[in-house]
Amino acid sequence: MFIEDTIAAIATPPGEGGIGIVRISGSKALDIAREIFIFVSKKNKNFKDRYMHYGKVVDSEGSIIDEVLLVYMKGPRSYTAEDVVEIHCHGGIIPLTSILKEVINRGARLAEPGEFTKRAFLNGRIDLVQAEAVMDLICAKTEKLAKASLNQMEGSLSAHIKRMREQLIDIMAHIEVTIDYPEEDIDEITTQSIRENISSIVENINHLISTAEHGKLIRQGIKAVIIGKTNVGKSSLLNALVKEERAIVTDIPGTTRDVIEEFINIRGVAVRIIDTAGIRETLDQVERIGIERSKQNIENADLIITVLDASTPLEDEDREILDYLKGRKVLIILNKIDKPVLLDRRDIEEYMGSETPIVETSLTLGKGIDKVEDIIYKMFFRGEIEISDHLMITNIRHQEILNNAKKYLIDALGGLDNQIPLDIVSIDLRAAVDSLGSITGETVTEDLIDKIFSEFCLGK
C-alpha cells in the first residue's frame, strides 16, 4: 500500500437502495472531482469545503452517468485526514460501479479493505483502539456493543491505556535518575515508590481484564446450542425465541437434519441460537452427519440448552445426553407441560446438580419463553450492564496484551522484592510499556496493522 496514492471505493452495501456513495481520498481527490462533475447551477462553479453540491457525473466522452450530490472535505478535517470527496448517487449497482470506474480511470486506485480507516490511523487522526472500534460499531448487532464501540471511538479506553503507559515511563525515568546519581542515596525511597506505583498499575490492569469476559460476550454474543432427543421441541424453542417460523416443526422424528443458526437480542446482548439435529442412534446417513455436527457445536458452545419431554419419564437416551453435559454450562427446558407431566425433576437434579437451572415450558401454548430469556441473561450477567460510563475490554487482542503487560509488571515487582538491580527491573518495565503501546498503536508492527485492517469491509 502506498499512502501517496489516491484511493476510491464504494462505501455503501451492494444491492438496490435510494442512495449509494463512492468515496475518494488522497491528494488527487479534488482534481478527479473537477474532471467528472458538472455543476447544475451556473452561479456556483467552485467546490466549497463541507458543502453539498448538486450536479451530474459524466464520463470521458461527456455522457451523463448519474445525477448526484457531491461533498468535498478538505484535509486534515476529514475522516482520513486527507482530501476526501464523496459522491452520493442513486443506490444501484450500475451507477455506483460506473462512477467508481470513471474515478479509477482518472487516476485513483481501488482501495484495499479498511484502507480509509487505516489512513486515518497512519495520519494520526485516530489510534488503533479507535480504529478497531469503528469496525465493531459497523458490525454491532446490539445497542450495548454499539455504545461500547462509541465509547472506544471517543478515546475513553485509549486515554486510560495511555495514562498507565505514561506512568510506567515516569517510573523508568526515576530509575534512570537513581542509577545515574547513586551518591544521592535515594535508592531505598525510590524502590518503595516504584513498588507502590507498579502495584497501582497492576490493579488498574486487573480491573480492565475483569471486564473482558463480559466484553467478549457483548462483542461476540453468547453461543447457545439447543440439543435433545428427536421430537422434544428443539425447533419449536428456536422459533419461539426468534419469534418467527425459522425451523420446520413436525411430529416426525429427525425432521431437523442440519444445524440452523439465528441471532436474537436479549437485553442488549446478542445470542447466537443454534438448533441441532436430535441426538439418537440412526441408520440415515444424512441424519448421522447432522448429529455429528450437533456434537461439534456442543464442544464450542457457551451455553447448552437441553430440551426434555416432560410428558415422558426420563429415558436412557436422556441420561446419556445429561451425562455428556456434566461440567458444562447447561439450561434444562422441560417442554410439553400442557400434557400430563411424568418426568420427575429430582431425576434431573440427581444427574446435573441442584444448581442447574430448569425452566418449564409449553412451546405450543407459548408459555415459559420469557423465563428462558431471563435465565439465559442471568447465567452470564449479574444485573444490568451500564456501558455509558464504564471502561470495558471487548477485544480479545487487547485482553491478551493486558495479560502480557501484567506478567511483565509482576516480574518487575518480584525483582524488587528479591533486590535485583533497578536497571534489570527496568527491562521488564520497558516490555510492559511496549505491550501497552501495541494496544493503541504506538509500538505496533506493520504486519499487525495489515492484519487488523484486512478484516475491515471495503470502503471503510
pLDDT given at position 72: 96
CATH value at residue 150: 1.20.120.430
Determine, yes or no, domain membership for 60.
Answer: yes
pLDDT given at position 299: 78
Q: How many domains does the chain have?
A: 3
Grid coordinates given for 120: 486515518
pLDDT given at position 183: 57
Determine, yes or no, domain membership for 451.
Answer: no
Rounded CA gap, 116 and 112, in Å? 8
Determine, yes or no, domain membership for 450.
Answer: no
Half-sphere exposure of 327 (CA within 13 A, CB side): 3
* Domain boundary pick from 127, 150, 185: 127
- Same domain for 11 and 117, yes or no, is yes
pLDDT given at position 187: 56
Report the chain (460 residues): mean pLDDT per 10 consecutive residues. 83 90 96 94 82 94 94 95 96 94 95 92 92 88 84 90 94 80 58 89 94 85 87 86 59 49 84 73 52 70 90 85 84 92 85 87 90 90 60 90 96 91 90 94 85 80
* Range of the structural domain that residue 172 is part of: 131-211+392-441
pLDDT given at position 447: 84
Determine, yes or no, domain membership for 458.
Answer: no
Dihedral angle of Cα 305, 310, 312, 317, to the nearest 10 degrees: 10
Rounded CA gap, 448 and 395, in Å? 15
